[in-house]
Structure 1
Amino acid sequence: MMKSRPFYFTAGVALLALLLFITALTTERRLTWLMEVMPIFIIVPILWATARRYPLTPVLYSLIFVGCVSLIVGGMYSYARVPVGFYVQEWLGLARNPYDRFGHLLQGLVVSLSAREVLARGGYRLGAKMLAFLVCCVTLAISAFYELIEWWVALALGKDADDFLGTQGDEWDTQADMLCALLGAAFTVFVLGRWHSRQIENVMKRTRQ
């Protein structure tokens, strides 16, 4: 067990708390903001409670932080109205604001890297190919479950769920979101894998000391 939480972790949590406070006061869509940032109120306390007993790798903490910031920004404006998304839309000549696609890509990165870390540190006898396969399966499963949550919220809120869903009239929005999550998982498997494995080894050595 580590004696204290890493400084960058504590600083990241403090910055997220500040961003949540500021956006809660300034957003014009408080219900949408609350629904979008709800995962932060669940995930961050769990990470805080386990940071010394089961610290994660720096790359995973960093991606979780970026993912949380993207949720806060999406909640602040609603995903279909994030200003930077309009710039990208105009630059690439897209038919819609692509910010939500970026969010689901980040979701895939965070979930896949988390799954990879838990499986790699769990002592399971998995080859590289099986590990990659399971990481992609877990990512798709969680992405699909998140889409189900969005569906249930839409049924509960009716017409008021448009800002939360952010489909922007795209009938294939659910499938595109899941594809973005899968692309995030593929990036984890094929690009971040070796770097992530080295960080896992370093973290496990520190926790054993």
Structure 2
Amino acid sequence: MVNYEKKPKMLHLILLAWIAVAYILSAIDPFDRLAWFGQMTSAVLFVLLLVAMYHRFRFSTFAYLMVFLHVLLLLYGAHYTYSHNPLFNYFQEQFDWQRNYFDRVGHFAQGFVPAFLLKEFFVRGGYVKKGKVLWLIVILSCLGLSAAYELSEFALVKILDVPADFVMGTQGDYFDSHWDMLWALIGASTATIIFGSFHDKQMAKMEKHID
């Protein structure tokens, strides 16, 4: 495994501190406390996993910036719930949409951001070489994570015995879970194919600082 300097980068600590602030703000008078707890849990687990990995496998600063933005999105969504996001309520009224589409943005990010992390882990960990096979593995891995998230929501509905819309935010769309996974697939494909070269440069910068 790659060795790193024990001292964390100041920017990484600042991002972590801002996430803590965002978490506190998200917890203040959310739209629904139970929904907030369920939707913010993934953000908290995401951050805790990266913190636990930090001294054993450190991602590029670019990847951490993407995670920072993703966590802010998750905490923002948890505060208002994905079905009652005020910004997208406004868009819904202005453009006569049939539903609040904030969840589509959230699930795009669910594929977009993990794609960068998975790519770095596979390549810099020496598990997969760069190439089209790597693209396929990253995209399918992201799609698998999205499916796992949908299954976890399904499990909560059954365990808590509550309406599906309460947990899953289907807003009356029977194909909501399918749309969620599709947008995660689009997000992962965008990160891997369109932003692949840019990400490679960010990983190259990271490798210059490896002992």
Q: Same fold (TM over 0.5)?
A: yes
5 Å-filtered alignment, 1:1-150, equals 1-150=4-153
Secondary structure of the corresponding residue to residue 207 of structure 1: coil
Note closer, same or farther for the CA distance 1:127–1:47 as it changes in structure 2 (3 Å cut): closer
CA offsets per residue over residues 81-104 of structure 1, 9 Å max, x none? 010111232344321100001000
TM-score, scaled to structure 1: 0.92
More helix as a share of residues: 1
Note closer, same or farther for the CA distance 1:167–1:126 as it changes in structure 2 (3 Å cut): same
**CA–CA distance in structure 2, aligned partners of residues 178 and 165 of structure 1:** 13
Note closer, same or farther for the CA distance 1:198–1:127 as it changes in structure 2 (3 Å cut): closer
Q: Which runs of 5+ in 1 are unaligned?
A: none
- Amino acid in structure 2 at the alignment position of 1:101: R
Q: Which runs of 5+ in 2 are unaligned?
A: none
The answer to whether the Cα contact below 8 Å between 2:122 and 2:128 also exists between their aligned partners in 1 is: no
Which of the numbers 191, 198, 203 marks the counterpart of 2:201?
A: 198
Secondary structure of the corresponding residue to residue 79 of structure 1: coil
Secondary structure of the corresponding residue to residue 80 of structure 1: coil
**CA–CA distance in structure 1, aligned partners of residues 34 and 164 of structure 2:** 10
Count the aligned residue pairs: 208
Q: Percent identity?
A: 31
Aligned alpha-carbon RMSD (Å): 1.7
The answer to whether the Cα contact below 8 Å between 2:164 and 2:170 also exists between their aligned partners in 1 is: no
TM-score, scaled to structure 2: 0.91
Is residue 158 of structure 1 aligned with residue 161 of structure 2? yes
**CA–CA distance in structure 2, aligned partners of residues 3 and 135 of structure 1:** 29
Secondary structure of the corresponding residue to residue 66 of structure 2: helix
**CA–CA distance in structure 1, aligned partners of residues 166 and 101 of structure 2:** 14
Note closer, same or farther for the CA distance 1:125–1:36 as it changes in structure 2 (3 Å cut): closer
The answer to whether the Cα contact below 8 Å between 1:79 and 1:100 also exists between their aligned partners in 2 is: yes
Q: Which segment drifts farther, 21-30 or 103-112?
A: 21-30
